[in-house]
């Protein structure tokens, strides 16, 4: 199973996938890793691992549609079975969703449909929930909507800050993403 991974930041989820592939624990090929801005830690991690990387900086385009088209074409050029949004902090447009219909995977640091959007951890704390978690889902044209593939609960501790809770969620999210990709890869082989 070929994947393209999209990142916007440090790439900690991506590193877990790279490590799982390198150890033989995850039978996928990372065709490329791309970012929406120059100089991300995720692209640096990928290059250090010998993976092909690309950047489609949002600021280099006159509008969102032009950027979305360029990102879509770049991802399509790798012929992936799945595109994985791993801390990719841009909302893609309808052209991208249509090109990867049912194969664009997103991770989110909350138990969707609760607390969608960029501040899932902060929103969960503000609401006062005792349990939150992470979700791996198929992304569609909504914000953190689309079919849920897997979820994992994470307890909210009385002394949690946004940072401490988010770090525990990230640990669960990394494991859940690898498990989900392994499950998808096994299904792919079964259909071959």
Contact 144, 111 (CB under 8 A): no
Q: SS3 for the chain, per residue?
A: CEEEEEECCCCHHHHHHHHHHHCCCCCCEEEEEEECCCCCHHHHHHHHCCCCEEECCHHHCCCHHHHHHHHHHHHHCCCCCEEEECCCCCCCCHHHHHHCCCCEEEEECCCCCCCCCCCHHHHHHHHCCCEEEEEEEECCCCCCCCCEEEEEEEECCCCCCHHHHHHHHHHHHHHHHHHHHHHHHHHHHHHC
Give backbone dihedrals phi and psi of 19, rounded to 5 degrees, phi first: -65, -40
Q: Which of 69, 108, 137, 166 is catalytic?
A: 108
Is there a catalytic annotation at residue 108? yes
Contact 103, 78 (CB under 8 A): no
So which residues are the catalytic ones? 108
């Amino acid at each position: 199973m070929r994947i393209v991974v999209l990142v916007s930041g440090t790439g900690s989820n991506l590193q877990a996938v790279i490590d799982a592939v390198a150890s033989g624990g995850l039978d996928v090929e990372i065709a490329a890793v791309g970012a929406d801005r120059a100089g991300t830690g995720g692209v640096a991690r990928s290059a250090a691992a010998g993976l092909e990387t690309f950047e489609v900086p949002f600021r280099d385009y006159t509008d969102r549609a032009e950027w979305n088209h360029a990102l879509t074409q770049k991802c399509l050029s790798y012929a992936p079975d799945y595109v994985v949004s791993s801390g990719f902090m841009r909302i893609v447009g309808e052209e991208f969703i249509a090109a990867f219909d049912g194969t664009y995977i997103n991770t989110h640091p909350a138990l969707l449909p609760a607390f969608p959007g960029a501040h899932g951890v902060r929103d969960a704390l503000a609401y006062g929930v005792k349990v939150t978690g992470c979700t791996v889902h198929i992304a569609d044209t909504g914000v953190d909507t689309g079919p849920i593939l897997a979820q994992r609960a994470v307890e909210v501790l009385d002394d949690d800050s946004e940072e401490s809770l988010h770090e525990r969620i990230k640990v669960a999210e990394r494991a859940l993403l690898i498990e989900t990709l392994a499950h998808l890869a096994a299904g792919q082989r079964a259909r071959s």
